Structure 1
């Protein structure tokens, strides 16, 4: 599981890694079956975990195929440590899906303040407005570009060594790699 899920290797790469590391060679289908079995066993327990929340939540959606039909997978990730806070699978990219994912984030934070970072799509603006109106929650909503610029400025004043853009983009690259590695597992949990 460390090779396939944790490192985001393909099934064939995982098969080769297991052969090199442990001198065992299960088939790719066996590795996939292990993943499905683990997902079904861990699924109910994941909701009970205390997630380390940093106060920064990055939200985005991606278009994926589930059982032959296309859906949007809304994902909320902690902006500092990269753990997945909430996910929602929807047939449409609409305000209803954005409101659902925002409600799950608010429930996870249990009244604590957080900063929501997104691409400022109209669906997220509508979700933040709905949260203020109906959930009585004030959400600080920032655009991804503005948030990255703010991080770069803060890094220049706090640590002059870390001024390069590549260092500033490291958390975003981590979030992207975590999503790519965990989407197959999370889709299995949602099915």
Structure 2
């Protein structure tokens, strides 16, 4: 027995020595690839957002004026084009920039569609209705971008110049292995400059629209106090509509259906929304944003939150069926509208590494609103930015967990109106009624009229009354 143990110990030492020699051999002869270099390789940049292109305004001209100027300068008229080799331009072709007729247009690429105007030197494609007074230009090489794809909400423009510095630099970053893979399948790599031009203006979308499904507050069977009880159980305590109806019967002997509880919630959400959205929160220059998923009729939807990371108030929120840029911009607009004067680059906007926030920043920049986007990536502090701003990202994560607690009891929403109502009431409760440790177990935003009321059903009634006054004041102004 002792001899077997001694043999195993010797064999174990032999294995350790062999492993040590193998590790030394690998370190000396096989250089390990730096993870950071691989991380920033163009192979992994599919969802990165490139800088904003240069927008050149193309002046619309009149070909008759240009022909007159040409005759004045040269002492002769500009002759129409005499087609050769049968490459004539169809008679319905017109230059979209100056309006010159077909007899002043060249077939510029052998019948493949591109035409050149002899009067104003403008190149265009007769079969593509993509002429615009604004031309998108690559910020790296100065060449016009080519429209490559059309999506539901945006068009993709690409710089196809093979001598563009952006493309050449991206090509240099490829490792020899990636370079071989690039030659076999170029679709896996993003090497050219790309810009997404959105076809819908998210900055003109109405932010004050109200959810459907509400009804008049003309109480016939129940009193306003019953409505306050419904909101207290349903929103504050996170009970479902059925559990709320059962609690009202078992505790208060009020016989009410869960459908009526749902109607009360939708109506209250409709009324308090303008008051919550227009309240003067006096936000700080540190905002945090995140999105979390919910279920509506079994289909995944998303709730976007933007909050004041220091004062903890929710400033922007949206419910959407997609995780795209549209609802992200709308939630950010709601938050930015809370500033009486936009702070610009003094504003620190903290988010995760999702590329849609880079796209949103780009769109705000095009609308003259710039800010400092700080993206905290991953779950560990592997970079200085994550180490410095992780605590701000954790604040919005805690908000998501608080919201999930109120959402889980619903087992998913039954309609879009129900989700809008629940999120609207949650924001009202979180900002004005819920006690927070940050404010020594007082609400985040103090309202004198609410402080004087000792019970929560009364506070809900007062909040609805203040919201009604706010709506009437807005209608009168």
Query: TM over 0.5: same fold?
Result: yes
Say whether residues 1:126 and 2:359 are aligned partners. Answer: yes
Separation in 2, partners of 1:39, 1:153: 32
| Matching residue of 1:41 | 271
Shift of 1:124: 0.9
More helix by share: 1
- Would the aligned equivalents of 1:75 and 1:88 in 2 still touch at CA under 8 Å? yes
Q: How many residues align?
A: 177
Q: TM-score, normalised by structure 2?
A: 0.31
Separation in 1, partners of 2:306, 2:391: 25
- Would the aligned equivalents of 1:82 and 1:175 in 2 still touch at CA under 8 Å? no
| Matching residue of 1:161 | none
**Distance change >3 Å, CA 51–CA 71, structure 1 → 2:** same
Shift of 1:121: 0.3
Larger radius of gyration: 2
Select the residue among 349, 354, 359 that pairs with 1:116.
349
Shift of 1:12: 3.7
| Matching residue of 1:178 | 403
- Would the aligned equivalents of 2:319 and 2:419 in 1 still touch at CA under 8 Å? no
- Would the aligned equivalents of 1:56 and 1:115 in 2 still touch at CA under 8 Å? yes
Select the residue among 305, 318, 329 that pairs with 1:88.
318
Instruction: Tell me whether 121-130 or 95-104 shows the greater mean CA deviation.
Output: 95-104
- 1:1-191 to 2 correspondence within 5 Å? 1-19=231-249, 22-51=252-281, 53-65=283-295, 71-109=301-339, 110-112=341-343, 113-143=346-376, 145=379, 149-150=387-388, 172-178=397-403, 181=406, 187-188=420-421
- Would the aligned equivalents of 1:117 and 1:141 in 2 still touch at CA under 8 Å? yes
Separation in 1, partners of 2:247, 2:309: 30
Separation in 2, partners of 1:178, 1:111: 28
Shift of 1:180: 5.3
Separation in 2, partners of 1:28, 1:57: 37
Structure 1: segments with no counterpart, 5+ residues: 155-167
CA RMSD of aligned residues (A): 3.9
Separation in 1, partners of 2:239, 2:366: 44
Separation in 2, partners of 1:142, 1:131: 17
Structure 2: segments with no counterpart, 5+ residues: 1-230, 424-477
Deviations 1:12-50 (A, max 9, x none): 443454456545353322221211121122233332212
**Distance change >3 Å, CA 41–CA 124, structure 1 → 2:** same
Shift of 1:66: 5.0
SS class of match (1:111) = coil
SS class of match (1:108) = coil
More strand by share: 1
- Would the aligned equivalents of 2:278 and 2:338 in 1 still touch at CA under 8 Å? no
- Would the aligned equivalents of 1:40 and 1:189 in 2 still touch at CA under 8 Å? no
